[in-house]
Amino acid sequence: MDSIMDKLDALALNADLKPLLTLVKAARNGAVYGAKVRFPHALVMIFLFRSGTFREKVKLVLKATRQHAYNLSTFAIIYKSSMIAMKYLNPTGPKEGPYDTFFAGLLGGYIVFGRHPGSVSQQIVIYVFARVVLALAKLSVEPNMHPLSSLITPEARTRIKDSAWPAFASLSWAAVMYVFRWHPETIVSSLRSSMTYIYVDSDHWTSFHNLLIHNK
């Protein structure tokens, strides 16, 4: 057994195989992370808000978990492959270009998430988009980031940073409550179900039992 592990260790540390092994580990990590993140979320959401038998709910949980793991694993492979390809195709030599990450992400995003806009893909993309918006908001007030950076004083920068999150949170909830009230059909089904449970079902009951013990 030790000799087998020694051979596997030597294989894993082979410098010539590093680009290929990078793809293998990226795929592995994407699948594991996707499964770890999605399984508890799907378990709670499906068993709380979906109708159906226990067997049907288990199938939905496993399907969502598998899809999340597959998406992240496939994206990791495409992204890493593209980065490696562009590195060695660089006319100035084998090195990473300043926009390689952008184009690799663009390709992976289109192939994995853009062509298959299912509920799992939409949730991942929306999560990423929200994080990017917050990151760009922080960068927008950093020194030397754009031509207007010099006009932002240190005091103004501090005030903007302190106010950015409260403004973002308030406007996000204001917008979603307005859209849910007047155009609920445009909201993704999982969010709509959650909001219906909290804000619509709370207006209706016929006894103490479905007031506090059960929803309906």
pLDDT tens-place string over residues 4-16: 888 889 989 999 9
Residue 214 tokens, joined: 């059960």
Tell me what pLDDT residue 1 has.
67
Region 37-64 average pLDDT: 91
Rg value, the chain, Cα: 24
Q: Are 54 and 9 in contact, with CB atoms under 8 Å apart?
A: no
Place of tokens 């949980």: 61
Cβ atoms within 10 Å of 113's Cβ, excluding its own? 19
Confidence of residue 27 (pLDDT cuts 50, 70, 90): very high
Q: The whole model's pTM is what?
A: 0.80
Tell me what pLDDT residue 146 has.
87
Q: Is position 165 within any domain?
A: no
How far the first Cα of the chain sits from its last, in Å, is 60
How many domains does the chain fold into? 1
Residue 57 tokens, joined: 């709910």
Q: Is position 31 within any domain?
A: yes
Q: Is position 137 within any domain?
A: no
How far is Cα 106 from Cα 206, in angstroms, rounded to an integer?
53
How far is Cα 125 from Cα 139, in angstroms, rounded to an integer?
21
Tell me what pLDDT residue 148 has.
85
Amino acid identity of residue 15, one-letter, is A
Q: Is position 149 within any domain?
A: no
Q: Which residues form the domain of 19?
A: 1-117
Q: Is position 158 within any domain?
A: no
Confidence of residue 93 (pLDDT cuts 50, 70, 90): confident
Q: 26-30, 48-52, 168-172, 194-198: which has the minimum mean pLDDT?
A: 48-52
Tell me what pLDDT residue 134 has.
87
Q: Is position 179 within any domain?
A: no
Residue 24 tokens, joined: 């293998």
Q: Is position 107 within any domain?
A: yes
Q: Is position 182 within any domain?
A: no
Q: pLDDT by residue (tens digit) across 105-158?
A: 999 999 999 998 888 999 899 999 999 988 998 899 899 888 888 889 999 999
Tell me what pLDDT residue 190 has.
77
